[in-house]
């Protein structure tokens, strides 16, 4: 019996180590968290949840575009989803998609350029969250 418990414990430890080495552990842990506290960058796209409707999130995205001096191209939002695109000064396309997760929480997905740019994506995400907080505090 003790040997079976020991083998099970070793199996669990090895599974955690293997998941951590492949990068899947980050996805697994991020998905298990379910919090609105952060964003995950994977395969060129940054995804995170925000405490806002798609309309409010797209409005904050427009403000972030202006703040970063990116030229806005498309902006559309509904109660269930939204899309905003812009171009950076160097011509990189920025695409922000928003989908309602619940009536009060939306998932934001950001892709900069064809293959993604984590730094610019995180910069934009942080600005969006900042504008959402400012707007919520003003109400």
Confidence at 139, pLDDT banded by 50, 70, 90: confident
The end-to-end CA distance of the chain, in Å, is 61
Contact 74, 58 (CB under 8 A): no
91 vs 14 pLDDT, higher one: 91
CATH T-level assignment (fold) for domain 35-138: TATA-Binding Protein (3.30.310)
Q: Is 46 exposed, middle or buried (0-12, 13-18, 19+ CB in 10 A)?
A: buried
Question: Above 90 in pLDDT, residue 130?
Answer: yes
118 vs 4 pLDDT, higher one: 118
Give the pLDDT score at 26: 43
Question: Above 70 in pLDDT, residue 36?
Answer: no
Locate the domains of the chain by residue range: 1-33, 35-138
Average pLDDT score over residue span 37-45: 91
pTM: 0.73
Cα–Cα distance, 13 to 81 (Å, whole number):
40
């Amino acid at each position: 019996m003790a040997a079976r418990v020991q083998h099970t414990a070793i199996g669990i430890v090895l599974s955690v180590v293997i998941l951590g080495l492949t990068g899947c552990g980050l996805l697994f842990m991020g998905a298990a968290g379910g919090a609105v506290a952060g964003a995950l960058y994977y395969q060129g796209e940054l995804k995170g949840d925000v405490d806002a409707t798609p309309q409010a999130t797209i409005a904050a995205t427009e403000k972030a575009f202006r703040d970063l001096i990116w030229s806005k191209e498309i902006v559309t939002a509904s109660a269930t989803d939204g899309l905003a695109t812009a171009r950076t000064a160097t011509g990189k396309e920025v695409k922000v998609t928003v989908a309602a997760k619940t009536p009060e929480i939306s998932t934001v997905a950001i892709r900069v350029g064809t293959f993604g740019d984590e730094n610019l994506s995180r910069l934009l995400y942080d600005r969006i969250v900042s504008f959402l907080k400012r707007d919520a505090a003003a109400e």
